[in-house]
Amino acid sequence: MNQRELPDKMEEECGVFGIFSPDNDQIGSLTYLGLLALQHRGQESAGISVVQGDTITGHKDMGLAAWVFKDYDPASLTGSVSVGHVRYSTSGDSCVENAQPLEAHCKLGSLVIAHNGNLINADIIRSLLEDGGVLFQTSSDSEVLMSMIARGASKGFEKAVVDAISAVKGSYALIISLDNKLIGVRDPYGIRPLCIGKSGDSWFLSSESCALDAVDAEFVRDVEPGEIVVIDENGLNSISHDKNNNLTTCVFEYIYFARPDSVIDGIDVYDLRSKCGEALYKEYPVDADVVVGVPDSGIPAALGYSQASGIPYAQGFIKNRYVGRTFISPTQEIREKAVSLKLNAVRSLVKDKKVLLIDDSIVRGTTSRRMVRKLRQAGAKEVHIGIVSPPVSDPCYFGIDTPNREDLIANKMSNAEICDSIGADSLQYLSLEGLLTALGRKDGFCLGCLNGIYPISTR
Ligand code: AMP
């Protein structure tokens, strides 16, 4: 259904990772490695909770995982079930109270939850629960879910989880520890990714398969849309809570968000991005001397374009990997300088050349504008832009930070106006058809940010 009239809202991006492994004194360290591998999914806070019987030991704080665990050894977190989370919120409630995992004690003992996604009816449920006297300690929608699971605990873990999940609407990839089990849940549309891994007797759940590689676990399979998997000493048991499930993976996971070395719902992210570069060449052959990718997410597509066209690929931008997030700088002038510090053009590769600059997407237009300026300052003769996705014209309500409608440049300008605004000689986007062909199937994706059609109604 068309949801163009929905209110605009900033959302959260997160990564979740969990382990079931009794008698494994490495559980805290392995979870930490998993979070490091998922760091691209959220840089604002990180946390790990480990459960042993009724005891939860955990540590979380604001910042990158390496910073959060700088003075706290993750190896000291021991138990049989672990849950980890990295978070990036953009909605203003950036505080340690909202950092995850969330921990509680209920009738079934310890309860830990980590959530990636966005619940669109959490406010209504929260208000009903508050009317009934429930107190909340955070403003996060995930606490609403936790409270509902805790309320249902006397019915047993399975019913408690199924009932809570049935009441919420939105996107969720959840990792829960309840009743000393590790539980993974994916919403009925599978909007956010979640996969299962195994190594010896240990089981893993992760937002992306790249984190399974980081801990040497074997990829078993993706959690299916609407599926609840329960892992304990008897192995993995699957409960499907919604028979009408319908895979609708977020297309932006493939375009930008996921790491290229991950495989999500059977699609290899690197391969897809490279194919998008090839497809863009077929749709948009540019007369250029070099193809340059915007680090990091534009690079596989730039290589794909280069291979298809025969135009040499050049590493036209060097990324300084030692500076973190830059937009916290207090003044615009310092912010601009910080961007220059982070990405710099290689003069010898672009000077006097016709450059085709490839990026995965344009959201506000800020990155493209800066990159064009940098290439011109470095002496590029012409700068053409190729974007390997269709225009981002609509906001995301399900967990990707594609912001307010009025901030989306494609919502207010034509392609020619965008090209003009970012100062490029030409601009071309990959068509939706081209993207879907590269993805290998026409159905099974949430394309809301590209066409305003969302899988879930908020009414
Ligand atoms: P913008 O600069 O606002 O046009 O955003 C586009 C650039 O940011 C591209 O280089 C993307 O790789 C990257 N990007 C796209 N979507 C997001 C997002 N949700 N959060 C952070 N960066 C993004």
Residue of the CA atom closest to atom 19 of ligand 1? 401
Measured from the CB, is residue 297 less than 6 Å from ligand 1?
A: yes
Q: Comparing C-alpha atoms, which of 41, 140, 141, 147 is closest to residue 98?
A: 140
Query: Ligand 1, atom 5: nearest CA belongs to which residue?
Result: 363
| Res 73: pLDDT | 97
Q: What is the pLDDT of residue 329?
A: 53
Q: Tell me, what's the pLDDT at 7?
A: 35
pLDDT per residue over 270-293, tens digit each?
Answer: 999 999 999 999 999 999 999 999
Report, as an integer, the average pLDDT of 364-373.
92
**Span 205-221, average pLDDT:** 98
CA-CA distance, 17 to 38, in Å (whole number)? 8
C-beta of 360 in contact with ligand 1 (< 6 A): yes
At residue 339 the predicted structure's pLDDT band, cuts being 50, 70 and 90, is confident
In this predicted structure, what is the pLDDT of residue 29? 98
- Other C-beta atoms within 10 Å of 244: how many? 8
pLDDT value at position 12? 59
268-440: what CATH class?
alpha beta
Which pLDDT does position 6 carry in this prediction? 37
Q: What is the pLDDT of residues 437-451, one digit of tens each?
A: 999 999 999 999 999
Q: Greater confidence, 113 or 402?
A: 113
Q: Which atom of ligand 1 is nearest to the CA of 362?
A: 4
Please tell me the predicted confidence (pLDDT) of residue 377. 96
Question: Which range, of 84-93, 382-391, 427-436, averages the lowest pLDDT?
Answer: 84-93
Exposed, middle or buried, 452 (CB in 10 Å: 0-12/13-18/19+)? middle
Mean of pLDDT values over 325-353: 77
C-alpha 81: how far from chain center: 24
Of 130, 20, 124, 140, which is closest to residue 82 (Cα–Cα)?
Answer: 20
115-124, 312-321, 330-339, 405-414: the lowest-pLDDT one: 330-339
Determine whether the shortest distance from the Cβ of 361 to ligand 1 is under 6 A: yes
Share of the chain above pLDDT 70, in %: 92
Verify whether ligand 1 is closer than 6 Å to residue 256 (CB atom). yes
- Going by the DSSP 8-state scheme, the letter that residue 312 receives in this structure is P
Does ligand 1 come within 6 angstroms of the Cβ of 43? no
Window from 12-16, 156-160, 222-226, 305-309 with minimum mean pLDDT: 12-16
Mean pLDDT of 338-365: 93
Highest mean predicted confidence (pLDDT) among 151-165, 242-256, 378-392: 378-392
252-270 pLDDT, tens digit each: 999 999 999 999 999 999 9
Of the listed ranges 304-313, 329-338, 422-431, the one predicted with least confidence:
329-338
The answer to whether the CB of 137 falls within 8 A of the CB of 129 is no
Mutation probe of ligand 1 site: the residue of 250, 255, 276, 367 with most atoms within 8 A of C-beta: 367
Nearest Cα neighbor of 396 from 350, 450, 347, 360 is 450
138: pLDDT strictly greater than 90: no
pLDDT at 288: 98
**Average per-residue pLDDT for the chain:** 91
CA distance 357 to 368: 9
Q: How far apart, in whole angstroms, are the C-alpha atoms of residue 123 and residue 143?
A: 11
> Which amino acids are annotated catalytic?
14
Ligand 1: centre distance to CA 362 (Å) = 6
Q: Which atom of ligand 1 is nearest to the CA of 294?
A: 10
* Weakest mean pLDDT among 2-16, 98-112, 202-216: 2-16
Report the CATH superfamily, name and number, of domain 14-247: Aminohydrolase, N-terminal nucleophile (Ntn) domain (3.60.20.10)
Ligand 1 pocket, residue 12 CB under 6 Å: no
Name the burial class of residue 67, with classes exposed (0-12), middle (13-18) and buried (19+) by CB atoms within 10 angstroms of its CB: middle
**How remote is the CA of residue 361 from the centroid of ligand 1, in Å?**
6
SS3 string of 45-88? EEEEEEEECCEEEEEEEECCHHHHCCCCCHHHCCCCEEEEEEEE
Proportion of the chain above pLDDT 90, given as a percent: 78
Q: Where are the domains of the chain?
A: 14-247, 268-440
Mean pLDDT over 157-173 rounds to 93
Residue 326 has pLDDT above 70, yes or no: no
Per-residue pLDDT, 458: 57
In the predicted model, what is the mean pLDDT of residues 42-70?
95
Q: Is the pLDDT of residue 300 over 80?
A: yes
Which of 250, 363, 396, 405 should be mutated for ligand 1, with most atoms under 8 A from CB? 363
CB 317 within 8 A of CB 292: yes
pLDDT of residue 178: 95
Q: How far apart are CA 300 and CA 91, in angstroms?
A: 31
